[in-house]
Amino acid sequence: MSEHTSTLMDGVIETIKTIVYALLIAGVFRTLFFQPFWIPSGSMKATLLIGDFLFVNKMAYGYSQYSCPFALCPISERIMGAEPARGDVVVFRHPVNGQDFIKRVVGLPGDTVQMRSGQLYLNGSPVPQVANGTFVETFEAQGPVGSFPLCREGRPGIGADCSKEKAIETLPNGVQHSVLNVANGRFDNTGVFTVPDGHYFFVGDNRDNSTDSRVKPEFSGVGFVPYDHLIGRADRVMFSSAGRSLFFVWTWRPDRFFKRID
């Protein structure tokens, strides 16, 4: 083997090593600290918009088997665990279909949860809501999936205003956040749910357009979410794009960069 060939092979080997090390570091970082997450649907409007990009804080609740990609962590019970607080925005693994969801914790173990005429009741008491104007967006295909928003106006036509009633909801621990209402929906009135030990009740802020704990998994809902299915807490939007591609610079939302998630 010539000296030139040997030098070339050494360079290739070093490049491969660098790539492998980089992938290992990225894998450890993703598993132990922060997991990237794109918002694919409008279920958490107006808190989160389709196209928001965030990092999920995995250290917030400790680690379970679902902390690793494909649920491959060899952990039988959560370690370094901490309980989520009411009002946290959390990414979790769906108990049945294995997809990652993002919703807000409203019910803790032992709580009773009910919806009456669109208002949340916890342990028999109504959670206060104060009207806060109107959330208005453009009626158009949104994000890579191209879904259309729900509007009080029905289907007002491409490019027209699409509105929803907005209110500020205050949970019992003082956490405040926006909730949206389109109309009297099928999930605005429910029976009373009692959250089992080791489980949590999640609801989307866009109440009429959210698949969440108000519906059992066997009916295409989420149901109660086990503690070990929690992946991490969403604290801040890092980047946001309103278009169908990250590379459509003209669709970026600069006002949402590094925005705190309440």
Q: What is the CATH number of the domain that holds 71?
A: 2.10.109.10
Shared domain for 80 and 138, answered yes or no, is yes
Residues 6+ apart with CB under 8 A from 255: none
How many angstroms separate the CA atoms of 232 and 33, rounded?
9
Query: What's the pTM value of the predicted model, to 2 decimals?
Result: 0.86
One digit per residue, the tens of pLDDT, for the chain of length 262 reads 555 555 555 444 555 544 443 344 444 444 456 789 999 999 999 999 999 999 999 999 998 888 877 777 788 788 888 999 999 999 999 999 989 999 999 999 999 999 999 999 999 999 999 999 999 999 999 988 889 999 999 999 999 999 999 999 999 999 999 999 999 888 999 999 999 999 999 999 999 999 999 999 988 899 999 999 999 999 999 999 988 777 788 889 999 999 999 9
Shared domain for 184 and 127, answered yes or no, is yes
- Amino acid letter for position 152: R
Q: Give how many domains the chain has, as a whole number.
A: 2
Shared domain for 170 and 246, answered yes or no, is yes
The DSSP letter of residue 13 is H
Our answer to whether residue 245 is catalytic in this structure is no
Shared domain for 75 and 131, answered yes or no, is yes
Shared domain for 69 and 173, answered yes or no, is yes
Our answer to whether residue 166 is catalytic in this structure is no
Shared domain for 13 and 95, answered yes or no, is no
* Catalytic annotation, pick one of 45, 58, 103, 166: 103
Shared domain for 71 and 168, answered yes or no, is yes
Shared domain for 130 and 210, answered yes or no, is yes
Shared domain for 8 and 94, answered yes or no, is no
* Catalytic annotation, pick one of 41, 43, 210, 241: 43
Q: Outline where DSSP puts E strands in 17-142.
A: 34-38, 52-57, 89-93, 100-107, 112-116, 119-122, 125-126, 129-138
How many angstroms separate the CA atoms of 211 and 204, rounded?
7
Structural domain for 23, as ranges: 1-32
Residue linked to tokens 């009916």: 219
Shared domain for 207 and 89, answered yes or no, is yes
